Structure 1
Amino acid sequence: MTNQVFGIDLGTTYSAIAYINDFGNAEVLRNREGDETTPSVVFFESETNFVVGKEAKNAILVNQDATVSLIKRHMGTAFTQQFFGTAFGPEGISAIILKDLVDYAKEASGVDTDKVVITVPAYFGLAEKEATRQAGVAAGLDVVGIVTEPVAAALSVGITGEETRTLFVYDLGGGTFDCTVMRVSPGVIEVIGIDGNRLLGGADWDARLFALLNEKFIAQAGLDDDPTTDEDFAQDLMTKVEETKKTLSSRERTSVTLRFGDTLEKVEVTRAEFEEATRTLVDQTLEIARRALDTAREKQPGLEIDDVLLVGGSSRMPVIEKSLQNELGWTLRKTELDLAVAKGAAIYGNAGLAFAETIASGDSSADDLGTDEKKFLLGTSTVEIRNVLSRSLGVQFVRRDPAAPNGWTPYVDFSAHGNDSLPLDAVFQGSTVSDGTTELEIHIFEQNSPVENEAPSENREVTPPEGAVLRNLPHLSADSTIEFELHIDAEGHATLTAYEPTSAQRIEMHVSLAVLQDEDVQQLKQTIAGMTRSA
């Protein structure tokens, strides 16, 4: 290869960056502190200076007005925070993290490239994926791909399709949870079913342990007031919670020394107490795992799982392995929990680049592709990666309803469903409601709940920002037919075409729910380019 692509696991609580080293292996690059993972925390020291990582995390409560964490949970939303008079949304905060990771990775590896592949949870929808891409652009990077974390994890353990296997990926990260069923066979890695919760992750276990230790401290010390109202106490407890959680993964009990004013107590906590306090969280993951498995078996009856991959730092808690073995009967295969996704992203990016270079060189051994297919060169094998749609897409229609104020009730008719194989094409029809129709507004929605709900208010509109109006219609009568074609490519990018046969009027819409417009991203890019990392 004549070029390189960095693979970035942009995590909710920790991030990592990897590349392909001189030996052809994926390697995670250590950060300035010598750690393989970097806390996804940003501290704004001034209008133009920032700190990313451990230092920012260690002072998160003391400097809470100038610090932001868990920003990935807001990806794809209009959530903003003000720092020194400048508003930053999820794209901007994520861009600072991405820029910091890449800047030092270049220095550490000697690889001078801005090409990156960024990972996202499998259950991310259009809004979250587009926000992630925009964050990369705002960081001044060339985002050559967005890959789901489970696919990246599978690539990291050497899955190349040389033998047929069915994998279940259980990915419990710091802030998101995903389950993915995929079939690996010669030349093909095919995602069959996904499910997840983008607001469930290790941070929720931390919050439960924080509350448990605080309750124990209050009881032992005989306090009447909640000591966590004191920022210094809360910061100290928060710092110790993460270490306590790690310790309880290897020991049955541990103790934490906490001080509040003149009160000093050594608080003991057992693994059993921690597991009891977080049992409902584990149960949520099991419910999602079962749902993902059921979805896959609906598509492929009789499907059996050959390997279960554990991914994500929070998966190392013993209760996770124990629950999956006891309740689902699975034997588990652990990955490099914290590093697998970044390594897989690097493999994905460079394998795609290798295939593109092979095609460009005119090598007849590589099959040519249609524009909808994604193929990669893994070693000497050409592999196609087939994905599924993360969430259902549909168009808003109306139906007669005598109880409605105007006699009509809007509803969303989903023509593309979550877990449908990609690429896909759907053809469907609608009709006009009233006589004399000269234009029609079209509204497109993405599923925004665990199961499809036809109420527009329960979904997210993904109509293009400029709107979607089919104009210049010839005063159509009621019940005139409007034809629709929905096309979704291999990476989940959707295009909807509406066509009126008698007038041949047509409108084509590229579907993406972007909070930021292109000019906003470019302005953000300039702002971040003018900022520097504090030494």
Structure 2
Amino acid sequence: MSGDVFGIDLGTTYSAVAKINDLDQAEIIKSQSGEDTTPSVVYFDSGSAIVGGEAKSSLVTDSDNGCALIKRHMGTEFPQSFGGQTYTPESISGLILKELVQAANQEGDSKVAKAVITVPAYFGVKEKEATKQAGEMAGLEIVGIIAEPIAAALSLGVRGEKRETILIYDLGGGTFDTTVMIAEPGNVEVVAVDGNRVLGGADWDAALARVVIDKFVAQAGIADVDPADDPDFMVEILQDVESKKKLLTRKQDTTFRCRFESHDEKIVVTRDEFVSATAHLVKQTVEITQRVIDTAKQKSPGLAIDKLLLVGGSSRMPMVDEALRAAGFDPIPTDFDLSVAKGAAIYGQAIVDGAVPFPVGETGSAAGDPQAAAPTNTEAKYFLGGATTLNIKNALSRGIGVEFVRGDSSGGFEEYIGFLVHANDPLPVVDAKLEAGTASDNQTGVRVKLYEQGGEVESESISANSLLTEAEITGMPPMPRGSTIELLLSISNEGIATLRAREPISGRELTLEAKISVLKPEEVEAGKALVGGLMTRS
């Protein structure tokens, strides 16, 4: 096996790279420092970008010239300025990807430029497209974008000997996902997904840091000032918290040294204090886990979970295992940080080898018609559990809807979101149809606004949803209020939405594709030039 494509787990706190090796197995490629994972941290120094462990250490003494946790801002307007240069979340992620691939290519005889990048299952359209753009800025050919739990299932589930219903509990550094899926060699069917894009190990770090700071303030007798307002103090504390958090999984207590202004104290924190301070976070994950099971059972009555697999580095915490067992589960540990990257490599190699009917990230005719792109591979693959093909049936992570107008109780009008498809609907969706009516007499145009569900549950409120794209059908003949407008929504297996709006009398039609991002094409090209022209090192 040549390993023609990298599988990349672009994590919030740590990232990993894998490929299929000569033994037809998914294998992690170690970083230049010999580690399985690389901190997702960038530090800017004298015209170059440092990525990884050195960057993370540099932030302790110079927090103004680097950043971490950038994944939480993917697909949003979150400009960062370093050394007089402005960076987007996509370009910073592009620097991380560039360094990961450079280091990985040093381990092989040939240079690989193709990659599959993973995203949280709960990422929406903007975040997925932003991730793809980050890869393009790094000079990569992105052959697929795949959800982290699906990647984990490919690594852990498709090599089993029987068909099983698996629940993936994926607690990473910055995001939490749960996914119920049915897996067997060569096949993965997603039944239900749920999660929280801003819940992860970093929140446990922040909670432990708050315990340390509060005890420090009380022990040192500090008044009228909060050390947490000092960025340098916080970077040092958070750096210390990450390692001490791991100690608290093995010891009953640990000691922090806190220095602020003239104060220098040793602060002892017990495991019980840490568990108490983070109990609400663990509770959220258990609630989401139960919710995704309930959703799966609504879709498939009688469904039973055969295995609950723990994925993500933060799932190592004993409190996670204890909370899940208390809730009636029997969690099974995995290789935590590495399974997602391995699964991405499996998916990527399956695409390159022609074993995938149509890639998850592909749009167009193949997305709606699996027969449009039949697999070409006929050779059994060990990394697919002996199967010759890989079939993935995905589910929509968030509902998609259109803005409508209706009368309110005061005799006026109010805007609301009417959902055409809902979270966990099976993908692809082909021409889901809805008929709407014009809002006023003699209307000659219709503005169509396509929205994506913004929160964990659907809401009709405009403010609770995210605008994907909008455009207007013009040139229609004047029509009375309530005249029919036909809306047809199709969604690819990745979750990219295309909406067609048609006025049947005039035949006027409008097509909106919600494959969008915060960045315009020219901004992506500028980011590609910026990332490509900046030297990176780890």
Normalised to the residue count of structure 2, the TM-score between the two structures is 0.91
Partner residue of 1:468? 471
Contact 2:350 2:356 in 1 (8 A): no
Of 381, 384, 408, which residue of structure 2 is paired with 1:401? 408
Counterpart Cα distance in 1 of 2:125 and 2:236 = 38
Over the residues paired in the alignment, what is the CA RMSD in angstroms? 2.3
Q: Distance in 2 between matches of 1:86 and 1:433?
A: 47
Name the residue aligned to 1:304. 304
| Structure 2 equivalent of residue 420 of structure 1 | 425
Structure-2 separation of matches of 1:380 and 1:342: 20
The gaps in structure 2 that reach 5 residues or longer are 359-368
1:388-411 residue CA offsets vs partner (Å, 9 max, x unmatched):
10100011111122526xx22111
Matches of 1:307 and 1:115, distance apart in 2:
33
Partner residue, 2:482: 479
| Secondary structure at the counterpart of residue 497 of structure 1 | strand
Q: 1:516 to 1:381 in 2, by over 3 A?
A: same
After superposition, give the CA deviation of every residue in 1:160-209 in whole Å (9 maximum; x if it has no partner): 47422111110000000011111124653111111111011000100111
- Tell me the CA shift for residue 261 of structure 1: 6.4
SS at structure 2 position matched to 1:486: strand
Distance 1:435 1:374 in 2: 52
Greater Cα shift, 235-244 or 95-104: 235-244
Shift in CA distance, 319/357, structure 1 to aligned 2, threshold 3 Å: closer
C-alpha distance in 2 between matches for 1:266 and 1:285: 32
Go from structure 1 to structure 2 and tell me whether the alpha carbon gap of 1:446 and 1:315 turns closer, same or farther (over 3 Å shift): same
Alpha carbons 2:355, 2:375 under 8 Å: kept? no
Of 404, 408, 415, the match for 1:410: 415
Equivalent residues of 2:350, 2:389 under 8 A apart: no
Q: How far apart in 2 are the matches of 1:8 and 1:60?
A: 24
In structure 1, the gaps of 5 or more residues are 360-367
Kindly indicate whether the alpha-carbon contact (under 8 Å) linking 2:354 and 2:375 is maintained by their aligned counterparts in 1.
no
Which residues in structure 2 correspond to 1:337-416 (within 5 Å)? 337-355=336-354, 369-371=370-372, 378=384, 379-401=386-408, 403=410, 407-416=412-421
On the 8 A contact 1:375/1:383 being kept in 2, the answer is no
Cα distance in 1, alignment partners of residues 109 and 249 from structure 2:
37
The question of 1:504 aligning with 2:507 is answered yes
Which residue in the other structure is 1:276 paired with?
276
Tell me how far apart the structure 2 counterparts of residues 71 and 230 of structure 1 sit (CA, whole Å). 20
Q: Is the 8 A contact 2:255 2:268 kept in 1?
A: yes
2:523 to 511, 515, 520: 520
1:491 is aligned with what amino acid? E
Does the alignment pair 1:447 with 2:453?
yes
Give the match for residue 432 of structure 1: 438
Report how far residue 216 of structure 1 moved: 2.6
Superposition deviation, residue 33 in structure 1 = 1.5
CA distance, structure 2, for counterparts of residue 6 and residue 95 of structure 1:
15
Structure 2 Cα separation of the partners of residues 186 and 533 of structure 1: 39
**Which residue identity is paired with 2:522?**
E
CA contact (8 A) 2:3 2:21 kept: no
- Give the direction of change, closer, same or farther, for the CA distance of 1:105–1:203 in structure 2 (3 Å limit): same
| TM-score when normalising by structure 1 | 0.92
What does residue 362 of structure 1 align with? none
**Which amino acid in 1 is paired with 2:492?**
D
CA displacement, residues 463-498 of structure 1 (integer Å, 9 cap, x when unaligned): 1xxx42112212222221111110111111111111
Q: Which amino acid aligns with 1:170?
A: Y
Q: What is the Cα deviation at residue 230 of structure 1?
A: 5.8
Is the contact made by 2:143 and 2:351 (CA closer than 8 Å) also made in structure 1? no
> What is the match of residue 209 of structure 2?
210
Give the letter aligned to residue 475 of structure 1.
P
Residue in 2 that maps onto 1:89: 88
Matched with 2:131 is 132
**Aligned in 2, Cα 1:228/1:372: closer, same or farther, shift over 3 Å?**
same
Q: Is the 8 A contact 1:161 1:188 kept in 2?
A: no
What does the per-residue CA deviation read over 1:95-143, in whole Å, with 9 as the maximum and x for residues that have no partner? Answer: 0101110111111233411100000000001011011011111111101
C-alpha spacing 1:252/1:381, structure 2 compared with 1 (3 Å): farther
